[in-house]
Amino acid sequence: MTGTHPAAPAGPADDPAARDARSGLVAAGVVVLLVLVGLAGRTAVERLGAPPVSVADARLEGQVWTMPTEQVQGFLAARGVTATVPDDGAGPSVVARVSWAPHPTSSDVRYALVLGDRDGGAGEVRYVLGALPDDSGTSSGSPFAALMQSRDWLRGNRTVDVGGGSWTEYYSVATVRTGAPDEVWLVGHVVDVAASRPGRVGRSAAPRPGLGVALMVGDRGRWVRRVAG
The per-residue pLDDT for range 54-112, each reduced to its tens digit, is: 999 999 999 999 999 999 999 999 999 999 998 887 889 999 999 999 999 988 999 99
**Would you call 213 helix, strand, or coil by DSSP?**
strand
Q: C-alpha dihedral over 66, 174, 225, 189, to 10 degrees? A: 20
End-to-end CA distance of the chain: 94
Residue 69 backbone zone (phi > 0: left; psi -120 to 50: alpha; other: beta): alpha
What is the reported pLDDT for 7? 45
The contacts of residue 103 (CB under 8 Å, 6+ apart) are 52, 53, 57, 58, 178, 179
Q: Which residues pair with 190 in a beta bridge?
A: 123
Q: What is the mean pLDDT of residues 185-198?
A: 95
**What confidence tier does 224 reach under pLDDT thresholds 50, 70, 90?**
very high
What is the reported pLDDT for 229? 93
pLDDT-above-90 percentage for the chain: 67
Look at residues 147, 136, 53, 153 and name the one whose alpha carbon lies nearest to residue 100.
53
Do 221 and 124 form a contact (C-beta atoms < 8 A)?
no
Q: How far is CA 170 from CA 68, 80, 118, 123, 183, in A?
A: 20, 30, 16, 7, 26
**Rounded distance between C-alpha atoms, residue 212 and residue 153, angstroms:** 10
* Model-wide pTM > 0.85: no
- Which strands make up the sheet holding 61-67, listed edge to edge? 61-67, 93-99, 183-191, 122-129
Looking at every residue in the chain, the average pLDDT score rounds to 84
Look at residues 203, 211, 229, 121 and name the one whose alpha carbon lies nearest to residue 174.
211
